[in-house]
Amino acid sequence: MQGCAQNCLKFILVFLNLLIFLCGVGLIVTGTFLALGFTDWIRIEDVANLLQNDLLRVGAYVIIAAGCFVVIVSGFGCGGACCENKCMLGVYFVLLLLIFCAQLAAGILAAIYSAEIKDFVTNEGVDFLKNNYNNTQNATGSVDSYANELGTAAWNAIQEQLDCCGVNGIQDYQENPYVNSAEILSCTSSDGSPREGCQQPLESLLEMYSTVIGATAIGVACLELFCMVFAVCLCRNVGQDD
């Protein structure tokens, strides 16, 4: 009976680790989409330049690295379960616990930061469009000039992709001395009507990114909890038949 329970624990742990492996692959794919901006996805680098956030600049690569680490850990778990190796199961448990704690910390930080995004887009975004957008003509290689260049390129990419203009609309550019009338007219659609502001579609885009990343992280975290429980149970049962 004891051997049957042990085999059952082993099977469940292997199955859960296969799911974790798939989630790791999902993280790698998600990070790749964020980094390269396939189809309707905007590169996270452009969003980082727009929000002037250094953490976001490496966000996609952190997700890819986390996915690779999860894949490796899932292989460790499968190996420990199949070989019934207490040492491997112990290391596997510690690695899972570290990943889980890191995900928890990242989730808390993401929740805090997401609350600040709307305020940034509404205030700092409008201020950038009025004072710094396209202000690269007299660039001297300073940090501010380079930041303006990156921010301008980011706003251009996002406005083109989301088919919108500024934060609130064309009025965000009207006080900017570095924008000519032709560039302001580019904020009008083909029928001559002004394009809507980017605030709502940009917030929706960031919410979509957060949902995709958050749902993947929560799914992986739940599987990790189950795996830790079954790893401990299997580790305790290994060798009891001897």
The domain total for the chain is: 1
State the Cα–Cα distance between residues 197 and 200, nearest whole angstrom. 7
Does any domain span residue 83?
yes
| 29 located within any domain | yes
Which stretches does DSSP call E strand in 3-155?
none
pLDDT, tens digit only, all 242 positions of the chain:
456 766 787 788 788 888 888 888 888 887 787 777 655 567 777 777 777 666 666 767 777 888 888 888 888 888 877 777 778 888 888 888 888 887 777 766 666 666 666 677 777 788 888 888 888 655 454 446 777 888 888 888 888 888 888 888 888 888 888 887 666 666 777 777 778 888 888 878 777 777 766 777 777 778 788 888 878 877 777 655 54
Bridge partners, residue 194, by sequence = 188
Q: Is residue 183 situated within a structural domain?
A: yes
Residue 55 lies in a domain: yes
Residue type at 220? V
Whether 242 is in a domain gets the answer: no
d(CA 188, CA 169): 10
Q: Which of 6, 207, 26, 181 is nearest to 89 (CA)?
A: 6
Alpha helical stretches, state H, 123-174: 124-131, 143-162
Residue with tokens 């999902």: 26
Domain limits at 91?
2-237
